[in-house]
Structure 1
Amino acid sequence: MLYCRGLFTMQLKTSEFQCLFTEGLNGLADIFQKNNFELRIAGGAVRDLLSGKRPDDVDFATTATPDEMKSMFQAAGIRMINNKGEKHGTITARIYNENFEVTTLRVDVQTDGRHAEVEFTTDWQQDAERRDLTINSMFLGLDGTLYDYFKGYEDLKNHKVRFVGSAEQRIQEDYLRILRYFRFYGRVALHPDEHEPGTLTAIKENGHGLAGIAGERIWVELKKLVVGNHAGPLLELIYKLGLAQYIGFPIDVDLKEMQRVWENSRHFSPKPMTVLAALFHSSDEVEKMDLRLKVSREEKSLALFLVKYRYELHKNNEQPDSIKPFTDFIIDSRELDTQMKVCELLKYQGEERLLKELCQWSIPRFPISGHDLRKMGVTSGKDIGATLQKLRDIWKKSHYQMDKDELLSYIKS
């Protein structure tokens, strides 16, 4: 272990790290080495590796400029894709059917709370300084050397989430970092209430800046936050700090209900909207949320479903221990995603046994069609519809066991 200029280094030789070295990564490393440019793993992948996890995505940083990278890759016959990131310093190379995103070291020249104008640099510490949290500001050399300028490894071991340098300055560079702080707190911290007071003060005083952040960017962070650890207490803290009004959440909410739903659903891998639905009193509040966050059609549909049926289906269930009212509802709806929605409803209510039963249930096929009725002499469209519904009700009462001949016998009689 070595300290110099505030830099902490150590050697990482874990199996998770060694598994990264595919034919593609070895090829990428050779190109940079031959051209005398440094290449290191950056950001979240370093954090994951130090936590004993194999990262899903690996980003790389380099001292080479985008033009220098393009020249290297072209000379090596390497195809480059997704050139949209080039203006931000990122080049994506495809080697042995793998994509590698490599970004030039950068320093912020000017920020407005949403975007940053950058210049390229060859100073690794300058690049680390512009990152949000200490645990995300580390680099890992391809020889296993960790480069940690701001005690990120120490914070990770101690389950601490801190901004790099001044929390206020980091937040004012990009106000979305407020939500990133909460998301990573849920991922790293052991307890829900061990925030540094100065960090919460900086967040409260700068929370208004979230109003200028695009809803899509906010939703990306919120989706991960609400299904992570400590989501209930973190959502409550977001309200206590006065942030809800800036991110599309209703102001007048029942935080105890939200906590109840989170406790009910947290062990069942709920969808983000299942937890958030507890914040909405009406469909109008869901619509307002959607205007701000621009969630997907499926996410909005789930929120509207939960707000409408979270009490109604249970209220109409005359047999509390039976799954049948829920399966009947799914069959009557005839929509492809209704079973998923009802499963989320059962998570919302914490109905573990019914949830398990419903997840194992396969939607049976109603054995009668209009063609079958026409063959029986029922020709009027109105009569066909009414007869199908009667037969469907009979079929449901049989617990979906009656076959075609048994059902058609009702027409004959």
Structure 2
Amino acid sequence: MTRLTAPFLDDPALKQVLAALSAKGAQVLIVGGAVRNALLGEPVADVDISTSARPDETIRLAEAGGLRTVPTGIEHGTVTVIADGRGFEVTSFRRDVETFGRRAVVAYSDRIEDDAHRRDFTMNALYATASGQVLDPVGGLPDLAARRLRFVGDPHARIAEDYLRILRFFRLLAWYGREADLTALAACRELRGGLSSISKERIGHEIRKLLNAPDPSRAVALMAESGVLPLVLPGADASDLAELIEIEQEYGAGALPVWPRRLALLAPQHAAEALRLSRDETRAQDHIAQALTLPAPVAAYRLGRAFAAQSVLIRAAHGVKPAFGWCHELARGAAAKFPLTARDLMPALSGPALGEALHRAEAAFVESDFTLPRDALLRIALQQEAKA
């Protein structure tokens, strides 16, 4: 018998929810990612709960136990139970009657086996009691021990229920897997065309999480080999991603945002539209791309130290190793201040001539490696006026 000893089981709020819902004899279990992560020794964020109680019964039991409820997804059998100011999603056991892609006709069930067979991967179909006893209806424990990512049942059927599961397969492989089930991988390749029916926002959400994994290079390489990567990121080139991961580890890049850098390496031209990036995320990709066209200190001066650092790491992954002292050079570029303002050139200059003069002087300042003094820059700015 496998038993969890995870700290989250001692959470008073969780204990209160589990006790309230099981007060009349309903089966109440922790399910999915919390169980998976605890068994792997990974951090546990959210704790989801599955129960044989129907949604209306869940609400009655929770409120009888002094807890507040919110019917966040009651049409799908999900109620959020609030304890100590935190929400726990509680979903009733269900079984599929008919499926139509993401839409399905479901019926409530009293059997954990029915509920488990609706889930995506075997390592996500693990349940635990309040005392930590692990229940494994679909053989997920051996897969988890082997870090093997396998669909529950027929992978073609699971994917057809929601084609986004193709990307979830690669994302979970990046985070938790060492071995990709070959039948699962084949199904992802064969059914990849179904991703065209998935919104770019949902695809973008998965890609962000995938690229945030400690080392997504193998999963992304398999995406490329299976034809999935070019569908979701046209023009993507994953050939240097593994090198980038090594560079990140070598240079200690943990303080910088991870997925934007990796995305900029993969697909510098098409990512914003393909993944429906936000305005700020698109601007970040544009800044990284611009930084890649500039010497690193100049990039730090014009765009900021963080974007310049991203470009240095990407260049290193492409084989252009940074010079000794590059961090100091970035700091120096970021700290450089152009000593002229428009007021310094007025009233001698105005309008377009004023802008051109400032641009000319700043270009000279940058070309001088930020060393030209203010007086020299004034002469450069006013030289055209003097000729006139």
SS at 1:103's partner residue?
Answer: strand
Cα deviation digits, residues 45-65 of structure 1 (max 9, x gap): 101110123301111111222
Residues 26 and 279 of structure 1, relative CA distance in 2, 3 Å threshold: closer
Q: Distance in 2 between matches of 1:163 and 1:26?
A: 31
| Contact kept? 1:364, 1:400, Cα under 8 Å | no
Q: How does 1:338-357 map to 2 (within 5 A)?
A: 338-350=304-316, 356-357=327-328
* Counterpart in the other structure of 1:188: 176
Cα deviation digits, residues 229-279 of structure 1 (max 9, x gap): 5533332322222223532423xx655345544554466356324223334
TM-score when scaled to structure 1? 0.75
Q: Does 1:32 align with 2:21?
A: yes
Q: Distance in 2 between matches of 1:359 and 1:36?
A: 64
Q: 2:53 aligns with which of 57, 64, 69?
A: 64
| Unpaired stretches in structure 1, ≥5 consecutive residues | 2-9, 314-324
SS at 1:91's partner residue?
Answer: strand
| Contact kept? 1:265, 1:275, Cα under 8 Å | no
| Contact kept? 1:187, 1:228, Cα under 8 Å | yes
Residues 384 and 364 of structure 1, relative CA distance in 2, 3 Å threshold: farther
Q: How much has 1:148 moved relative to structure 2?
A: 0.9
SS at 2:191's partner residue?
Answer: helix
Residues 240 and 22 of structure 1, relative CA distance in 2, 3 Å threshold: closer
Cα deviation digits, residues 275-326 of structure 1 (max 9, x gap): 233344x74xx1xx4434212223333333444543x22xxxxxxxxxxx53
| Contact kept? 1:368, 1:388, Cα under 8 Å | no
Q: Does 1:145 align with 2:133?
A: yes
Amino acid at match of 1:330: A
Q: How much has 1:372 moved relative to structure 2?
A: 7.0
Q: 1:216 aligns with which of 184, 187, 201?
A: 201
* Counterpart in the other structure of 1:276: 263
* Counterpart in the other structure of 1:11: 3
Q: Does 1:233 align with 2:203?
A: no
Q: Distance in 2 between matches of 1:140 and 1:360?
A: 51
Q: Does 1:298 align with 2:294?
A: no
TM-score when scaled to structure 2? 0.80
Q: How much has 1:393 moved relative to structure 2?
A: 6.9
| Contact kept? 2:365, 2:377, Cα under 8 Å | no
Q: How does 1:95-134 map to 2 (within 5 A)?
A: 95-134=83-122
Q: 1:328 aligns with which of 298, 315, 319?
A: 298
Q: How much has 1:172 moved relative to structure 2?
A: 1.9
| Contact kept? 2:94, 2:107, Cα under 8 Å | yes
Percent identity over the alignment is 27
Q: How much has 1:43 moved relative to structure 2?
A: 0.2
Residues 110 and 291 of structure 1, relative CA distance in 2, 3 Å threshold: farther
Task: Compute the RMSD of aligned alpha carbons.
Answer: 3.6
Q: Distance in 2 between matches of 1:53 and 1:195?
A: 20
Q: How much has 1:72 moved relative to structure 2?
A: 2.7
Q: How much has 1:155 moved relative to structure 2?
A: 1.5
Q: Distance in 2 between matches of 1:279 and 1:384?
A: 41
* Counterpart in the other structure of 1:321: none
| Contact kept? 1:44, 1:136, Cα under 8 Å | yes
| Contact kept? 1:277, 1:303, Cα under 8 Å | yes
Q: How does 1:391-402 map to 2 (within 5 A)?
A: none
| Contact kept? 1:391, 1:407, Cα under 8 Å | no
Q: How much has 1:348 moved relative to structure 2?
A: 1.1
Amino acid at match of 2:41: G
Q: How much has 1:133 moved relative to structure 2?
A: 1.0
Q: Distance in 1 between matches of 2:348 and 2:36?
A: 68
SS at 2:314's partner residue?
Answer: helix
Cα deviation digits, residues 348-377 of structure 1 (max 9, x gap): 123576665478779448486759749x98
Q: How much has 1:129 moved relative to structure 2?
A: 1.1
Q: Distance in 1 between matches of 2:69 and 2:371?
A: 58
Residues 23 and 261 of structure 1, relative CA distance in 2, 3 Å threshold: closer
Give aligned pairs, total.
Answer: 371
Q: Distance in 2 between matches of 1:39 and 1:358?
A: 58
| Contact kept? 1:264, 1:349, Cα under 8 Å | no
| Unpaired stretches in structure 2, ≥5 consecutive residues | 380-388
* Counterpart in the other structure of 2:383: none
Amino acid at match of 1:22: D
Cα deviation digits, residues 104-156 of structure 1 (max 9, x gap): 12222232333333322221111111111111100111111111112212211
Q: Distance in 2 between matches of 1:290 and 1:354?
A: 33
SS at 1:84's partner residue?
Answer: strand
